[in-house]
Structure 1
Amino acid sequence: MWPAGTAAILAGSLWLLLVQLRPMRDDRLTMMAFALVWLRFALAALGPTALQTQIAGQSLMALGTLLAVGAVTLLAPLGLFRSERAAPIYAIALLGIAGSVLSGSAGALPSYVTLWALFAVLALLLERAYALHGPPAVLRGLLALFALPLAMQALSMVAGQPKIGPDGSYSYIGGYGHESVFAIVALGGLVVAALYPWPTRRHGWAAVALAIAALLFANYRTMLLAALPVVLAFAIFDGRAGHGRWLRRLLWVALLSVLVLPLVMPQTLVERFTEIGVLVRDLDRFLKPPETFTAADKDVLSARVYIWTSYAAAIGQADLPRLLLGHGPEALAPGMQVHPHNEYLRVTYQHGLLGAAALFGFLFALAIAAARAAHRRAGIVTSAGVAAVLVASTGTSLFDRPEGMIVLAILTATAWSVTAARRAPRPVLRPTA
């Protein structure tokens, strides 16, 4: 059932995407942007098959992503990359390359450069698509893209094939290898659903509810918390369209969440949220060197606090060059076998204070600019999406995997689009056959 279901979903999602892109079919560059995202989602949906199939020493997923990003980057006209908007992206990437050379970790550069090339080319192509075809058309195409992972999640539920965690918890994530990866994609789908100008409120709330349900069944606590700013922004503007009754609607949403979520969430997820209360209540218990943590201390938040403390200590012990430029992509703190599950710590450790300041400064500037955009609804929802990414960064990694960079590119392109009215007009590359 699983192989046949996966094949049917891949074929159906491709057909759905092509239907939505039909008005843009003569625009080669826009078609390439959507094809790039679809291919990555499709490879991830193949699960172990894409990870275990080796070609030239690389998995099918890694090689397919590398070739697709390389092809789109090379086929895009050089003028696309001259946009002044992309200057901060290039600066952040160059800081990471400098840190890699300094630390002698050049072996990690191909995957690092691929990620940032994916981010840059996709953000620029989507911004161009917004300018040429308008937000509704682009957002319809993005909704079609996110239908693929959601359909794969539904398949895992129908087939009774959850991923079972070490604590016995169930996560329905389709063929996606880890619940965090699927949850990042579902968060991106939530942002797109909240941005789209639905014909009725019923349609809008149904789409947002579907994305929230996907996050719930993915059973990933961090992304549920990260979704709150987006749901809040969507609720406010839905209510504003209803003659100022947004506060009443928002209170109803909050009340229903308090009453219903504990009933529908898996018990293990409820227990995980209680650990946050333990951390807040006994914060002083964890403010100590990592080597003094007891077994009980390490168990809190799935050992995240212990991991965070270990990386914070390693950052504090770094010499000045590595403190500024980091230890290089994919570097792990001494004694650690896993990444820090926190982007603020990971980026600071791997890319230094300069890299962290550049990346998170770019995100904060993006959120502020979007919030001040003339198009209030799109701007505020986009700003809330960036806020969601910043919240998610406290408990997982986003910027070291293609799915996270895809979501970030969508947010970046949307922010650039909604703030375009504040800037002087600039030449737009015309579609090519």
Structure 2
Amino acid sequence: MFLVVKVLFSAISAWLVWQTVRQNCNKYLAFVVAAVWLRFFLSAFHNITYEPLVAGFSINALASIGIAATGLLMLPPKVFQLRVLLPVYAFFAAIIASGIINGGVVGLINVAVKWLFFMVLACSMFMAIRKTNKDYVLRKLLVSFFLPVSLALMSVLLGEVKATEADGSTSYIGGYNHEAAFSMIIAGYILVVGLLSPGAIRYRGPLFMLGCVLLILVNYRTSVLAILPLAAIFAYTAMQSKIPHRYRGVFFIAAFFGMSMLFLLASYTMQDRFADVFVFLTSIDDLIKAPFYYSEAEKDIFSARVYLWSMYLYQYANGSLIHQLVGWGPESWSGVFPKYAHNTYVSFLYEYGFVGLLTFLCAAGSFALQAFKIKNKQFAFTLCSSMVGFLIMNFATMPLWNIEGLILFAILVGNAIGPVKLPRNEWFAAPALESRLAN
């Protein structure tokens, strides 16, 4: 039954995307819209697209390779020479060094394809924003989210749920494969709506609230926590615009206490789902120990995440100096640990070592700094809060491990570097690029 719903809404979304890219849409923006939609479309039919098809590659994997290759051919080479991308290249160098030193060729190729997908998407966002503006790009990109958002709504209406937790809770994920990846899609939708300027689209407030409700129904607590900073900023700015300037100081204090009360109320109503989070935060000192010291009860805290992190960190702490510096290689956790780390920072520390984790943090920090340089301070504040939320998400899951999370990161990075005026001492000549953008 729900397969028919998927096919119907896939056809509608394909038509909407086609209409979008053929109407006043430059090639960079068309590429972003089509690439994001294609990923969401293929993931909706995971029973088919996740199975190995050619040489062990699934349809999803082949599509990712094709998108990355298309982006490389389409984008001007000068874009990849932007100095603002240097921290990312330092992180890539750490990954490559780790893969070569450890001989992890297969893992290195898999990770390289994912990050290449991210690069072409982020650079295409940059070019699209430079040729138009960020609101125009985000309005067009919103069409790509029609399919997953519609399927999420239909899963609620038709009762299509997935049991995800031992406590009996369920997730409405629109027939997609996993709530983690789907939560990142909905978080991406919330981000796109939230980054739009007030008045850029009709019903911006209701569309944002719809995304927040759907994210709660997805029932993936890490993503819910990650979106809180953006939701708080969105609500505050929406209300602030209607308050006279002389009363805004009082309004700020009232809004702060009001949002605090709402947070406490939400925490109380969802205490069953977030109980482990509070246990972890209040017992963190007792949980920093070797994995063989964990009791059976402690192993279950935070869906066994804390115990899993302990296993990774214990292995890292007892490794050789070279392993501590460059890690054990891309995707080296497979076959060593029962599951992936469910924490980007722990995973990067194990796979790419101290150097890899440090370069990633430097890259993330550099993009946050770029966001602060945006002249529109309200947008800059919103974007920075979104980046904080994304970094929070990485503490208890791994959005950068799958394409959906990399799409979310690419949207953040593209919006961080797109609106900022570049200095003339970039690697390429700024006038040459601007003349190309104008054509």
Does the alignment reach a TM-score above 0.5? Answer: yes
Question: How many Å separate the matches in 2 of 1:96 and 1:408?
Answer: 18
Whether the 8 Å CA contact 2:35–2:67 is kept in 1: the answer is: yes
Query: Displacement, 1:249?
Result: 4.4
Task: Return the letter of the residue paired with 1:28.
Answer: K
After superposition, the Cα gap between the structure-2 partners of 1:12 and 1:114, relative to the gap in structure 1 and judged at 3 Å, is same
Aligned to 1:212: 212
Q: Deviations over 1:41-83 (max 9, x none)?
A: 1111112221126233221111222222222222333233222
Question: How many Å separate the matches in 2 of 1:324 and 1:185?
Answer: 33
**Structure 1 stretches of 5 or more lacking a match?**
none
Query: Displacement, 1:334?
Result: 7.9
Query: Displacement, 1:146?
Result: 1.9
Question: How many Å separate the matches in 2 of 1:250 and 1:22?
Answer: 45
Question: How many Å separate the matches in 1 of 2:151 and 2:417?
Answer: 31
How is 1:8-407 mapped onto 2 (pairs within 5 angstroms)? 8-25=8-25, 27-52=26-51, 54-167=53-166, 168-199=168-199, 203-242=203-242, 243=244, 244=248, 245-249=251-255, 251-259=257-265, 263=269, 270-332=271-333, 336-407=337-408
Per mean C-alpha deviation after superposition, the further-off stretch among 12-21 and 340-349 is 12-21
SS of equivalent to 2:311? helix
Question: How many Å separate the matches in 2 of 1:255 and 1:274?
Answer: 18
Q: Deviations over 1:112-171 (max 9, x none)?
A: 111111111111111111111111210101211122211121232233221112413211
Number of matched pairs = 427
Per mean C-alpha deviation after superposition, the further-off stretch among 93-102 and 59-68 is 59-68
Query: Displacement, 1:431?
Result: 6.5
Aligned to 1:428: 434
Question: How many Å separate the matches in 1 of 2:375 and 2:435?
Answer: 24
Query: Displacement, 1:240?
Result: 3.2
Question: How many Å separate the matches in 1 of 2:334 and 2:143?
Answer: 40
Amino-acid identity (%): 27
**Structure 2 stretches of 5 or more lacking a match?**
none
Question: How many Å separate the matches in 2 of 1:93 and 1:11?
Answer: 38
What's the TM-score, normalizing by structure 2? Answer: 0.90
After superposition, the Cα gap between the structure-2 partners of 1:55 and 1:367, relative to the gap in structure 1 and judged at 3 Å, is same
Question: How many Å separate the matches in 1 of 2:13 and 2:259?
Answer: 32
Whether the 8 Å CA contact 1:173–1:182 is kept in 2: the answer is: yes
SS of equivalent to 1:87? helix
Whether the 8 Å CA contact 1:311–1:333 is kept in 2: the answer is: no
What's the TM-score, normalizing by structure 1? Answer: 0.91
Query: Displacement, 1:182?
Result: 0.9
Whether the 8 Å CA contact 1:239–1:246 is kept in 2: the answer is: no
Task: Return the letter of the residue paired with 1:172.
Answer: Y
Q: Which runs of 4+ in 1 moved over 6 A?
A: 421-424
Aligned to 1:419: 420
Question: How many Å separate the matches in 1 of 2:281 and 2:85?
Answer: 39
SS of equivalent to 2:48? helix
Task: Return the letter of the residue paired with 1:236.
Answer: Y
Question: How many Å separate the matches in 2 of 1:388 and 1:83?
Answer: 26
Question: How many Å separate the matches in 1 of 2:354 and 2:228?
Answer: 29
After superposition, the Cα gap between the structure-2 partners of 1:178 and 1:7, relative to the gap in structure 1 and judged at 3 Å, is same
